[in-house]
Amino acid sequence: MEPQSTWQTAAILIARLIFAAMFAMAVAFKFMDMGATAGYIAAAGFPFPLFLAWCAAILETLLVIAFLTGAFLTPAALIGAVYVVFLGFAFHGPSHWAGNQAEFGAFMSHFPFAAGLLFAAVHGPGSVLAVRQGWSGKA
């Protein structure tokens, strides 16, 4: 493994902080009004909306921890990528476009996010400020 340059180390840490911040904002909104989140989930047609809202909040909290610590980053990033694409289809997919064309933009925004998560999964947490736990893309 080649040593990372200063700019590579900084870029990886900034990327991890961005991922953590995105999921932290999502989970913060859930914790601020779990009922509203459950209502949004119910409106999309899913059963057990309050249970699913709590599951999403727990998952997002675990993702935040993984990105902040670097622990289990590869599986977390893979799970995050699948989750983000699922959210795009479930809440902003083709069935929503006819009623509101802005939904197409919301749908499309999930894919660059997922691509970044896949890139993080491949390259791992970097060599600085990363707990060496779990399996990763880099030894």
Query: How many CA atoms within 13 Å lie on the side-chain side of 27?
Result: 18
End-to-end CA distance of the chain: 8
**Residue among 29, 92, 85 nearest 61 (CA):** 29
Contacts of residue 138, Cβ cutoff 8 Å, sequence gap at least 6: 1, 123, 124
SS3 71: coil
Output the six-digit token pair for 67.
């990105």
3-state helix, strand, coil in the chain (%, to 5): 75, 0, 25
Q: What element of type H or E holds 102?
A: helix 102-123
Q: What is the pLDDT of residues 88-122, one digit of tens each?
A: 999 999 988 887 889 899 999 999 999 999 999 99
Q: What is the pLDDT of residues 18-72, one digit of tens each?
A: 999 999 999 999 999 999 999 999 999 999 999 999 999 999 999 999 999 999 9
Cα angle value 20/22/24 (rounded, 5°): 65
pTM more than 0.75: yes
